[in-house]
Amino acid sequence: MHARRIAVAALSATLVLAPLAGCGANGNKQEATQQQETQQQGTEQKQAAINYMVLVNKQHKLPDGWEEALDLVEEKSLLYEDPVRVERKAYEAYKALKEDLAKEGVNVELDSCYRSVAHQQEVVDEFTKEKGADYVKQYVAVPGYSEHHTGLALDLFLVIDGKQVYENDEMLKHPEVWEKVHAKLADHGFILRYLEGKDDITGYAYEPWHIRYIDSPEIAHKIMDQGLTFEEYLGEADEAKAANAADKAANATTTDYEVDYGTSSIYTKDDIDAAVKVVMAEFGSWDGCTMQKIAFTDDNTCKSNVEYANSLRKDGTAEFTQAMVLVSDFRSPSADKAQGTAWEPDTDYKDYTWTLGRSDGGEWQLLTWGYA
Ligand SMILES: [Zn+2]
């Protein structure tokens, strides 16, 4: 998400910022105390409305009313013209974390933290104009579905030997520094959100800089000590995995793999595309495998498989009147990712078969796949 730095900085200059909380300079002591008390109560009320364990990801939207309930504090940004904004308790915890790390010679600073839904919409609009809708779909969070809306997500950057290190690829070159940062997170109620090798669950590649405040050091330790994603801790991992795989498949364009439509007098291109989409929804969950080509077989093969398709039909579902047989070429993952899977690493699999069935007016159902 750091890739958005320049555009975000440019855009944020156009945003209207909420006025800073705080007392006027000329109030007497009593007034100031009253004001402080009112402010304190306001803060407590607002904090009570915030669920620090909230899950916001590609499937879970920011709860309604959240932005109104959010109590933000500001800090002058070292990178942008506008200040950084963070939820009040999360900010206090961050200060303690920063101090703790400084004792070990590690210097962290705040990059991007709170972003409003409206701001995210501006980012989407700006990028759509510049780079097109496909780019936006792939790289920019949908407004309402970014964890940064919560005010509880913080992107850190490093200061190493007095030099600011904030570019993604530069930051990734310092794993030993991040290790020290991550070791201290739980003590202060933070967790690491986008873990290495768990992008199928989180929907995001590894981001050592993106931390999330959950307000409970005890729970944070449970999560961090076991190396869990937040989704796994909340029992949402399976749902997230399935949804991310389906998303990935839906966003995969034909430029990623070739579709050979062959010739058919039964099926249109749309019929075949619909079947390919169902196949790719399954294939998308095959971690590390790359689809190269999907080909329609032929009308006779499809016709002769209707009976077989019905033999695989679930009880109580409508009879299939059509079958489709597709064959695909794909490449298995490299050795590290193939470990523990059924795949030989780095191997081309050819003519792998997929059989689907469809009832009158129904959708394609994927019934079986493999080598016949
Ligand atoms: Zn982030």
144 C-alpha vs ligand 1 centroid, how far in Å? 14
* pLDDT of the residue at 253: 53
Taking the centre of ligand 1 as the mean of its atom positions, its distance from the CA of residue 59, in whole angstroms, is 17
Task: Rounding to the nearest 10 degrees, give the CA dihedral for residues 294, 297, 246, 4.
Answer: 20
Cα-to-centroid distance, 311 and ligand 1 (Å): 49
Q: 36 and 75 share a domain?
A: yes
Provide the pLDDT confidence category of residue 267 given band limits of 50, 70 and 90. Answer: very high
Q: Which amino acid is at 277?
A: K
235 and 323 share one domain: no
pLDDT tens for 333-372 read 877 777 777 788 888 899 999 999 999 999 999 999 998 7
Mean pLDDT of 52-59: 96
Whether residues 90 and 179 share a domain: the answer is yes
**Residues measured by CB to lie within 5 Å of ligand 1, the ion:** 1, 155, 210
Percent of the chain that is helix, strand, coil (3-state, to 5):
40, 20, 40
pTM of the prediction? 0.62
Task: Specify the pLDDT at position 309.
Answer: 96
Q: Give mean pLDDT, residues 231-258.
A: 83
> Rounded CA gap, 161 and 195, in Å?
27
Sort 212 into a burial class: Cβ within 10 Å, 0-12 / 13-18 / 19+. buried
Which of 245, 275, 301 is the last residue in one of the domains? 245
Tell whether 50 and 88 lie within a shared domain: yes
Domain identity same for 270 and 191: no
* Whether 97 and 225 share a structural domain: yes
Phi, psi of 113 (to 5 degrees): -125, -100
Residue 79's CB is within 10 A of a number of other CB atoms, namely 16
Does residue 162 share a domain with residue 99?
A: yes
Q: Which helix (H) or strand (E) holds 190?
A: strand 190-194
**Residue 215 above 70 pLDDT?**
yes
Compute the distance from residue 289 Cα to the ligand 1 centre, in Å.
27
209 near 2, Cβ under 8 Å?
yes
Specify whether 256 is located in the same domain as 173. no
Q: How many other CB atoms are there within 10 angstroms of residue 249's CB atom?
A: 19
Q: Which of 322, 327, 314 is nearest to 276 (CA)?
A: 327
**Tell me, what's the pLDDT at 338?**
73
Instruction: Give the closest residue to 181 by CA, choosing from 208, 201, 199.
Output: 208
Give per-residue pLDDT as tens, 101-124: 999 999 999 999 999 999 999 989
The mean predicted confidence, pLDDT, of the chain is 86
Q: How far, in Å, is the centroid of ligand 1 from the Cα of 161?
A: 24
Does 160 have pLDDT greater than 70? yes
Q: Are residues 63 and 149 in the same domain?
A: yes
Q: What is the CATH number of the domain that holds 51?
A: 3.30.1380.10
What is the distance between the alpha carbons of residues 282 and 246, in angstroms, rounded to a whole number?
A: 8
Strands 258-260 and 290-296: parallel
Same domain, 276 and 220: no
Residue after which a domain boundary falls, among 196, 223, 245 = 245
What is residue 48's predicted lDDT score, i.e. its pLDDT? Answer: 65
Residue 172 has pLDDT above 60, yes or no: yes
pLDDT tens digits for 312-341? Answer: 998 888 999 999 999 999 988 877 777 777
Residue-number span of the structural domain to which 61 is assigned: 2-245
Query: Can you give the pLDDT at residue 339?
Result: 72
The distance between the two most distant Cα atoms of the chain, rounded to a whole number of Å, is 91
- Say whether 68 sits in a helix, a strand or coil: helix
> To 5 degrees, how large is the angle CA 46–CA 111–CA 98?
75
Q: How confident is the model at residue 8 (pLDDT cuts 50, 70, 90)?
A: very low
Are 272 and 231 in a shared domain? Answer: no
d(CA 241, CA 225): 22
Percent of the chain with pLDDT strictly greater than 90: 65
SS3 35: helix
**C-alpha to C-alpha distance for 263 and 70, rounded to whole angstroms:** 59
Q: Do residues 265 and 214 both lie within one domain? A: no
Residues belonging to the chain: 372
- Between the CA of 21 and the centroid of ligand 1 the distance, in Å, is 25
Please count the structural domains in the chain.
2
